[in-house]
Amino acid sequence: TFCSNPQFVIKLEDEDDDPHDGENGCTILMGLMQKDFRKDRRFGREPNSIGFAIYK
């Protein structure tokens, strides 16, 4: 839930500068990872489900 997990606010201000794509906007690349998963896998644990939501 949002109340027990970290939340981040990112403000994208600079538009992409590729004149050939025909679209205005900002590109962002996000990645999520789990710490210590290799250790947990040795004990037969499954990875936690993780995800994120993006709001405009």
10-51 residue pLDDT tens: 888 888 887 777 788 888 888 887 777 777 777 888 877 777
Answer for the pair 50, 31: CB distance below 8 angstroms, yes or no: no
For 1, 7, 40, 51, the CA distances from 48, given in Å and listed in that order, are: 13, 18, 10, 10
pLDDT of residue 48: 76
Q: What is the pLDDT of residues 3-21, one digit of tens each?
A: 566 677 888 888 888 777 7
Domain ranges of the chain: 1-45
**In terms of pTM, does the model score above 0.75?**
no
